[in-house]
Amino acid sequence: GLPLGVSCQVRAGGFVFSSTKEGSMKPQIAKGKEVNLRSSQGEIRRTVVDVLENVVLVCKPEEYEQAKNEQRQPVFIGFPLDDVIT
């Protein structure tokens, strides 16, 4: 194992997991990847547009592809990182 306070990153399926000094694994979500989120309507699947400190910016997968094809920024909404399931 790593000594406390040493960071380690392992890439797995679009996610990067960083080991914290507490030893827990926190996912760092990659742009352009689809994730499941907890919402007021239950679990939803969205595409990541960007990740800020404690917020993930997401849009519907169709909007992400359409914006990419039209070379524009997708219309997105922010979710707390804690609401990311996978």
Rounded to 5 degrees, what are φ and ψ at 11? Answer: -90, 135
**pLDDT exceeds cutoff 60 at 3:** no
Are the C-beta atoms of residues 64 and 50 closer than 8 Å to each other?
A: no
Per-residue pLDDT at 27: 57
User: What is the tens place of the pLDDT at every residue in 28-63?
Assistant: 688 999 999 999 989 999 999 999 988 999 999 999
Q: Residue 34's beta-bridge partner residues?
A: 47
What pTM value is reported for the model?
Answer: 0.67
DSSP state of 3: P
Indicate the pLDDT class of residue 13, thresholds 50, 70 and 90: very low
Average pLDDT over residues 59-81: 96
From the number of C-beta atoms within 10 Å of its C-beta (0-12, 13-18, 19+), residue 78 rates as: middle
